[in-house]
Chains A and B, each alone.
Chain A
């Protein structure tokens, strides 16, 4: 079964003046297999975050069809579908709802009518999983951005979601926080092979870890494929202001200066060979 099927999705909003419509997404179609991880990259304003909000029904589409886990997303199915998905937003502060770490993890459980007797165990289990077990009674103001995002992840995972969205979840973090979240994401993938993960990111290194990349540009899928495939289109990416991950950038720079090497080889091997040539 496909986890996500998006067909001819369009979204626009009216700008304040002269009722001009601004197109954010235009006739976008793609599908995602269950257990797949997809990265959406693209310049600011390409519609990535809008897409995430449409997929969790925080925004209403103009046209097109969204099918999640075999069920069409509409008013009737939204409550049911939301139980099967979770989203981590960009701003660590603005999604911390509870007064303390434990209250925040429990917030979703309370909404899902998990009995009181079971909650403490679940809270502890997921706090442990994201490495926040020693911080259960801490208030958000005494946590770092990375720690708050880990709590958000615990909150999402505790609902046992089938689809997880990460909307630039690392954008406001320092390098340490970003590393923590990336490691946690990899772990999450490994532990739940059936979990589908969609992430929006500006960090090409993060996109590289996904099974597939979809490049959005002006509301359309501009490029789509495995990371290797997408990043082999250096020129196209450059045109819309995107960068390559470091290794690929280095390879490309070497190639331009007429160094010859096997492109599939590890960058370290390539460098060694060049040094000894």
Chain B
């Protein structure tokens, strides 16, 4: 059964959905930093990866997302990982090794691949959870909030935010346009899947040009509508949506901050729970 790709916003009302977008963005970044922290032993590294996976399970559960969806998102990575593994086996020749059909395979090669794989999966999982529980618009607001200091060096942050939000607003519209134009040209005998290179180029042109004309038309209309409604990119505006940091956000923040500083301390001080016994 096909399911909604994880990562697309899901319209549920859960604890994670209700959290402030600014906090969620920060939390994601902190989690990602933990992913890349270096601990004194491999056992410690993987302990932390295990803890992070535990969090991911809990988050998925809270946000009513399915683990299967995450697996589907990882699927395209398999090929890359196998490739990476082969390269590593051929290149890495340090540390201990065991022999497979008298071919030496070094443990370091296996671990290197495992590190990359686990880290990628973790990062993917955290960002997917973020986008699945946060409206794109709210992410834009959060980004604008964080970038606000840049206005001091004359970066037009609110214009950038407006551009992003308009782009997000028009994605569904442009998708519909694409679908319509593809069907219209298919009705005129265009075959988008097969054909020689020359035909393919023509097929794409027959889609791109109408898409561009229509997009230009839409943006010119949109600019008109914004102008007459009093939008001035350089002028002052008040805000309808104001993000509020609630108790929920505060407690979640304290929790994440604690976790993060704990991980950071362990990493910096090089403390090993396993006293070097393991790996």
The answer on A and B forming one complex is yes
Give residues in A with beta carbon < 8 Å to B: 53, 56, 58, 79, 82-83, 85-87, 89, 91, 93-99, 102-103, 106-116, 119-120, 123, 139-141, 155, 159
Q: Are A119 and B222 in contact (CB under 8 A)?
A: no
Which A residues lie within 8 Å of B176 (CB)?
141
Which B residues lie within 8 Å of A113 (CB)?
236-238
Q: Are A107 and B169 in contact (CB under 8 A)?
A: no
Give residues in B with beta carbon < 8 Å to A: 135-137, 165-166, 168-169, 172-173, 176, 217-218, 221-222, 224-232, 235-242
Report how far A263 CA is from B217 CA in the complex, Å. Answer: 46
- The B interface, classified by DSSP as helix, strand, loop or mixed, is helix
Report how far A107 CA is from B231 CA in the complex, Å. Answer: 8
Which A residues lie within 8 Å of B224 (CB)?
53, 58, 89
Option from A53, A89, A97, A141 in Cβ contact (under 8 Å) with B172? A141
Which A residues lie within 8 Å of B227 (CB)?
58
Q: Are A108 and B230 in contact (CB under 8 A)?
A: yes
Q: Are B165 and A111 in contact (CB under 8 A)?
A: no
Chain B, Cβ-Cβ closest to A105 = B240
Report how far A218 CA is from B92 CA in the complex, Å. Answer: 80
Chain B, Cβ-Cβ closest to A137 = B11
Given known contacts A94-B218, A141-B173, A86 and B228 CB-to-CB distance under 8 angstroms: yes
Q: Are B229 and A107 in contact (CB under 8 A)?
A: yes
Which A residues lie within 8 Å of B169 (CB)?
96-99, 140
Option from A82, A91, A115 in Cβ contact (under 8 Å) with B228? A82
Chain A, Cβ-Cβ closest to B240 = A106
Which A residues lie within 8 Å of B228 (CB)?
56, 58, 82, 85-87
Query: Which of B166, B232, B236, B237 has most chain A Cβ within 10 Å?
Result: B237
Option from A97, A119, A139 in Cβ contact (under 8 Å) with B229? A97
Q: Are B238 and A109 in contact (CB under 8 A)?
A: yes
Report how far A252 CA is from B217 CA in the complex, Å. Answer: 41
Q: Are B239 and A110 in contact (CB under 8 A)?
A: yes
Report how far A93 CA is from B230 CA in the complex, Å. Answer: 19
Q: Are B166 and A111 in contact (CB under 8 A)?
A: no
Which B residues lie within 8 Å of A94 (CB)?
217-218, 221-222, 225
Option from B229, B230, B231, B238 in Cβ contact (under 8 Å) with A116? B238
Q: Are B221 and A91 in contact (CB under 8 A)?
A: yes
Chain B, Cβ-Cβ closest to A141 = B172
Which B residues lie within 8 Å of A115 (CB)?
238
Option from B137, B222, B230 in Cβ contact (under 8 Å) with A99? B137
Min CB gap B171→A, angstroms: 9
Q: Are B241 and A103 in contact (CB under 8 A)?
A: yes
Which B residues lie within 8 Å of A102 (CB)?
240
Given known contacts A93-B218, A123-B240, A141-B172, A111 and B229 CB-to-CB distance under 8 angstroms: yes
Min CB gap B237→A, angstroms: 5
Report how far A112 CA is from B165 CA in the complex, Å. Answer: 20
Q: Are A95 and B239 in contact (CB under 8 A)?
A: no
Other 16 A-B pairs with CB < 8 A, given A102-B240, A103-B241: A87-B228, A89-B224, A93-B218, A94-B225, A95-B225, A97-B169, A97-B229, A99-B135, A99-B137, A103-B137, A106-B241, A107-B229, A109-B238, A112-B230, A116-B242, A159-B230
Between-chain CB contacts (< 8 Å), 9 pairs = A94-B225, A95-B225, A96-B169, A97-B166, A97-B229, A110-B240, A111-B229, A112-B230, A113-B237
Given known contacts A96-B169, A97-B166, A110 and B237 CB-to-CB distance under 8 angstroms: yes
